[in-house]
């Protein structure tokens, strides 16, 4: 999985909600926070090539990869495949063949290639297609290794954020203590 040595926390804000930090634990799961799947189609935050380009820079990939309209179709197929596979795994179901096929198809394209210049900085001209392939490969690694056993969905009844539990004891329950964890504690206190 494309995880760093330090957590990569996204700053999320749902409409009418507070801003909160969220570490998905893997770049493939970060993609799910962009909406666009199932009932979240209306909340797609990557409807244009420019939005995809900006998201790729903010993601844990951190690449400036110019996107095209063609990349949006691949993005949609990839995001849906990752969502369907994650949901099937969380429910203890067999992975959907169509989703696995779509994921493998995107992963088969050339990924991002790191490069080093004489000044020590990475230098390459990445494409969004390469970034999406890298994200697909991250999902293959997550769902195809024992790391999948650390896949969790937020325990709040009104939150479906999915993450890899990277905590040492493996007991993370909430997408964020700032949001769902805090709300659960407040409800418990009121009872």
- Give the pLDDT confidence of 108-156 residue by residue, as tens digits: 999 998 877 777 666 568 999 999 999 999 999 999 999 999 999 998 8
Question: Tokens at residue 147, please?
Answer: 């790391």
Answer yes or no: do 123 and 161 share one domain: no
Q: What is the pLDDT of residue 6?
A: 44
Q: Is residue 5 part of a domain?
A: no
d(CA 55, CA 135): 13
32 near 86, Cβ under 8 Å?
yes
Q: Helix, strand or coil for residue 163?
A: strand
Whether residue 66 sits in one domain with residue 30: yes
pTM given for the model:
0.86
Give me the pLDDT at residue 100, please: 98
Burial-class residue 167 by CB neighbours within 10 Å (0-12, 13-18, 19+): exposed
Residues 100 and 46 in one domain: yes
Same domain, 129 and 177: no
List the beta strands (DSSP E) in 78-185: 151-153, 162-164
- The C-alpha atoms of residue 21 and residue 58 are separated, in whole angstroms, by 14
Instruction: Report the distance separating Cα 170 and Cα 7, nearest Å.
Output: 15
Q: What is the mean pLDDT of the chain?
A: 86
- Number of domains composing the chain: 2
CB neighbour class for 113 (10 Å; exposed up to 12, middle 13-18, buried from 19): exposed
Q: Model confidence at 14, in pLDDT bands (50, 70, 90)?
A: low
Domain-embedded: residue 18: no
Q: Does the pLDDT at position 190 exceed 50?
A: yes
Which residues form the domain of 160?
Answer: 154-191
Mean pLDDT across the stretch 166-178?
83
Task: Map residue 12 onto helix, strand or coil.
Answer: strand
Q: Answer yes or no: is 7 within a domain.
A: no
pLDDT of residue 164: 94
């Amino acid at each position: 999985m494309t995880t760093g040595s330090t957590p990569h926390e996204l700053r999320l804000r749902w409409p009418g909600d507070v801003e909160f930090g969220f570490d998905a634990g893997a770049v493939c799961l970060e993609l799910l926070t962009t909406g666009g799947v199932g009932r979240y189609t209306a909340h797609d935050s990557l409807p244009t090539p420019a939005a995809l380009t900006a998201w790729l820079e903010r993601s844990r990939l951190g690449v400036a990869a110019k996107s095209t309209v063609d990349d949006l179709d691949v993005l949609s197929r990839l995001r849906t495949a990752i969502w369907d596979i994650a949901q099937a795994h969380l429910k203890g179901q067999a992975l959907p063949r169509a989703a696995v096929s779509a994921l493998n198809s995107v992963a088969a394209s050339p990924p991002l290639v790191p490069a080093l210049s004489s000044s020590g900085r990475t230098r390459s001209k990445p494409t969004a297609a390469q970034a999406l392939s890298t994200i697909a490969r991250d999902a293959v690694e997550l769902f195809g290794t024992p790391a999948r056993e650390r896949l969790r969905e937020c325990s709040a009844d009104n939150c479906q954020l999915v993450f890899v539990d990277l905590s040492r004891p493996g007991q993370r329950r909430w997408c964020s203590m700032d949001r769902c964890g805090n709300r659960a504690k407040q409800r418990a206190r009121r009872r």
